[in-house]
Homo-oligomer: A and B are copies of this chain.
Amino acid sequence: MNLRIPGPTPIPPDVLTATGHPMVNHRGPEFAKVLGSVSDGLKWVFGTQSEVFCLTASGTGGLEAAVVNVLSPGDQVLSISIGAFGDRFANIAKTYGAIVESYSVEWGHAADPEEVERRLALNPKISAILVTHNETSTGVTNPLQKIAEIARAHDCLIIVDAVSSISSIPCPVETWGLDVVVSGSQKGWMAPPGLAFVWLSKKAWEANAHAKMPRFYFDLSRARDSLERSQTPWTPALSIFFALEQSFKHLHTEGLLAIYERHKKAGNLTRQVALRNGFELFADPAVASDTVTSIKWPKGADGKAISASARDDFGVILGGGQAKLQGKIFRIGHLGFFEHSELEEALNVVAKLSKKYLGNTSK
């Protein structure tokens, strides 16, 4: 199986074995040890000395936690959306009563920091920014560091969906001055889905003290109190913790700089091989993601049939287009645990099938 969706990603065999570890007492010393080891790993990758919290939830649960723990109903928020996940982030904030100003960028492009600056200058009531670091639906990476500088200059909280970026591409949360940062275990972390990670800056914790959006399961102050006793407030997804304890061994052995370099190479390679095979890239090459590449279906090609044949006849599993990109693009994930040869193989298969199904369609 060549699983090329942008998460859940393939898992190293030893990590899969660890996932099947027998159960332990989640209130005892065995779990405290695992939680400590995973917490240390998370702090290392996030680039922080303060705690990163593990919530039993998917990345979307982490995004909800990020919003409801620092905002109150009626707060004015600037949503920077460059795709489906940016839209989702804004919808969460609206659901919980934030007043959301939408800066929506044409899909395939990144946000313009100058436009962010302009909007914050125009509306000084905006107290927080929601931004996607790496937009998985379009394969675009936002200029997060620049946006964070602007947020700081305007004393705005910057709340970041880093689900498919951090652990694959640089996102040092303290150096860049971010406030709330979210990721998910099924991305560059080389582990199965089931845990979301959330980090809060000191400023975000101050906001938390006054934040009035309702929260219980995702209440991070409970997570903080529990973590002081090396526990989680609710029964955690133990299997995913065992997986992460093992997958961090891979990340530590490789080292952060080598990991970033590997993903950068994978992004370049995937785009090159796609172009060489005659495909057109969907994302603006200047801001194309190094964790997922979005590629247009050739004109007249039957994407559904090609994806099915790639899967059933060649074991290549492609990511589809989401929301308004459904049927228009396919996506190749290259984050976490992969070989460069698998990326080439996937694209070669799609190229071969495109010709076949193009012929069929044009008859």
By a beta-carbon cutoff of 8 Å, the part of chain A in contact with chain B is 1, 3, 5, 7-11, 16-28, 56-61, 64, 91-92, 95-97, 184, 186, 192-194, 213-218, 233-240, 243, 311, 317, 320
Contact = CB atoms under 8 A, between A and B. Distances in A.
A215 B22 contact: no
10 contacts: A3-B22, A8-B25, A16-B21, A17-B20, A56-B61, A57-B61, A58-B217, A60-B234, A95-B214, A96-B216
Given A95-B214, A193-B235, 19 more contacts: A1-B22, A3-B22, A5-B25, A10-B22, A10-B23, A16-B21, A19-B20, A24-B317, A25-B317, A56-B61, A57-B57, A57-B61, A58-B235, A59-B234, A60-B234, A96-B216, A184-B235, A193-B239, A217-B218
Contacts of A95: 214-216
A7 B96 CA distance: 33
A239 B23 contact: no
A9 B213 CA distance: 35
A58 B320 CA distance: 30
A294 to B, nearest CB: 16
Contacts of A240: 194, 237, 239
A147 to B, nearest CB: 24
A27 B193 CA distance: 14
Given A8-B23, A16-B21, A23-B11, A317 B28 contact: yes
Contacts of A21: 16
A239 B56 contact: no
A17 to B, nearest CB: 6
The 3 closest A-B pairs by CB, nearest first: A194-B237, A20-B20, A58-B234
A239 B19 contact: yes
A154 to B, nearest CB: 27
Contacts of A16: 20-22
